[in-house]
Amino acid sequence: MKIIHVITSMSKASGGPSCTTLLTMQGTRALGMEVEILTLQPDLGEEAVSDDPSVRYLPHSGILYKRWGYTKTIPWALTKTEGVDVYHIQGIWMYFSYITARYARKHGQPYVITLHGTLYPEALRHSYLVKKASLLLYQRRQLQQAACIHVTCMKEMEYYHSLGFTNPVAVIPNPIEITEKEIILQEKEKKRVGYLGRLHPVKRVDRLLETWKHLQELGELLILGDGEPDYVAFLKREVKRLQLRNIHFTGWVSGKEKNRLLASLTCLVVPSDFENFGMIVPEALLQEVPVIASTGSPWRDLKTYQCGWWTNNDVNSLATAIREALFLNEEELQAMGERGRQMVLDKYAVDVVSRQMGQLYAWVAGRGDKPEFVYD
């Protein structure tokens, strides 16, 4: 089978979608499929996630590129794709997704769309009028005529159906690259709570700071990541206003340094109002670190597999969960961590998720039975 992924950006700055698209390509290619990615060249100063020759970086320019990802090269590139069984569109709203769906429909070829959380109510509130107009003009038809919509959790499917869409939906988690557990000796003796990710208002790191005011005598808090300068400045002002102690901002971290810092934590906290997946959760679990995630995330498995806490993200609920984690003994923390790592290996490893994606492609292309994870 031949699969073409289409995504606006494959730069490291674009975060989770670029990484999961690359892992999906690699995983399905290992199953014997021919897979390519069409995307735009990274902006000046940005770094691509891969130099794999199967990732085709197209040139771009102009004002419309900045707002809509417009480029004259994508229609031309699509005409050069031959023998394609399925087009896989990563994300919506942008020109790349619009023109690919239009091209596939014109040539009678099926396409799948991965939503990447774009239709969550919280996401729709941003640029609401523009998105409402887009749905009316073209986006609704593009979504409804897709052979299948891909989401990463049941809640995302519920939001999709609540908008009146009736086509099939596949619930498949994001693939996770399995990393070795970092060995931490001396640092693990510290009680250390952490946050990892983009610093943005929707992530509610400010609420974690407010929570820390009631816990700061019990250990230290690490804020791992970077983000919008205004929000970062606001967080640092909050530290002073709340007179917080034992808190450190590390800035952007990646690779082995990120894993080393993750492994040094007693627990990781994900205080977001919503997450359609949240890659930081399995990244921490792979380092055998229990996770506290809000019920706005799809991580009920933390509770089911007893490897963390799935709780409300108000200050009292977060404080209760963090306090429980900090007072667990080493044996209890280790057992939770081991259960968490095993859960990721069983459910989210690239080979596991890629087999599911391969079943979806086969069904969409008329070469296989309907998978059990596809819902009408």
Asked whether the beta carbons of 47 and 17 are under 8 A apart, the reply is no
> In total, how many domains does the chain have?
2
Residue 192 domain-assigned (yes or no): yes
Residue 181 domain-assigned (yes or no): no
Residue 180 domain-assigned (yes or no): no
Residue 104: domain span: 2-175+349-375
**pLDDT beyond 60 at 95:** yes
**Residue 179: band (very low, low, confident or very high) from pLDDT cuts 50, 70, 90:** confident
Asked if 82 and 199 sit in the same domain, the reply is: no
**pLDDT beyond 60 at 195:** yes
Give the C-alpha distances (Å, rounded to integers) separating 290 from 73, 107, 260, 323, 327: 46, 49, 15, 13, 13
More confident residue, 71 or 29: 29
Give the DSSP H/E element, type plus range, for residue 127.
Answer: none
- CA atoms of 328 and 330, how far apart (whole Å): 7
Question: What average pLDDT does this structure show over 324-339?
Answer: 95
Asked if 194 and 102 sit in the same domain, the reply is: no
Q: Which two tokens stand for residue 109?
A: 């070829």
**pLDDT beyond 90 at 358:** yes
Q: Which two tokens stand for residue 159?
A: 């939001």
Asked whether the beta carbons of 271 and 202 are under 8 A apart, the reply is no
Asked if 142 and 271 sit in the same domain, the reply is: no
Q: What is the CATH number of the domain that holds 139?
A: 3.40.50.2000
**pLDDT beyond 80 at 188:** no
Asked if 218 and 112 sit in the same domain, the reply is: no
How high is the mean pLDDT of the chain? 91
Classified as helix, coil or strand, 202 is helix
Asked if 103 and 155 sit in the same domain, the reply is: yes
Q: Tell me, what's the pLDDT at 246?
A: 93
Q: Tell me, what's the pLDDT at 191?
A: 92
- CA atoms of 192 and 344, how far apart (whole Å): 23
- CA atoms of 56 and 25, how far apart (whole Å): 13
222-247, pLDDT tens digit by residue?
999 988 889 999 999 999 999 999 99
285-313, pLDDT tens digit by residue?
999 999 999 998 999 999 999 999 999 99
Q: Tell me, what's the pLDDT at 78?
A: 93
**pLDDT beyond 80 at 315:** yes
**Residue 14: band (very low, low, confident or very high) from pLDDT cuts 50, 70, 90:** low
Give residue 329's identity as a one-letter amino acid code.
N
- CA atoms of 52 and 157, how far apart (whole Å): 32
Asked whether the beta carbons of 341 and 286 are under 8 A apart, the reply is yes
User: How many percent of the chain have pLDDT more than 70?
Assistant: 95
100-126, pLDDT tens digit by residue?
999 999 999 999 999 999 999 988 988
**pLDDT beyond 60 at 66:** no
Q: Which residues pair with 57 in a beta bridge?
A: 39
Asked if 222 and 329 sit in the same domain, the reply is: yes
Asked if 353 and 343 sit in the same domain, the reply is: no
Question: What average pLDDT does this structure show over 125-133?
Answer: 88
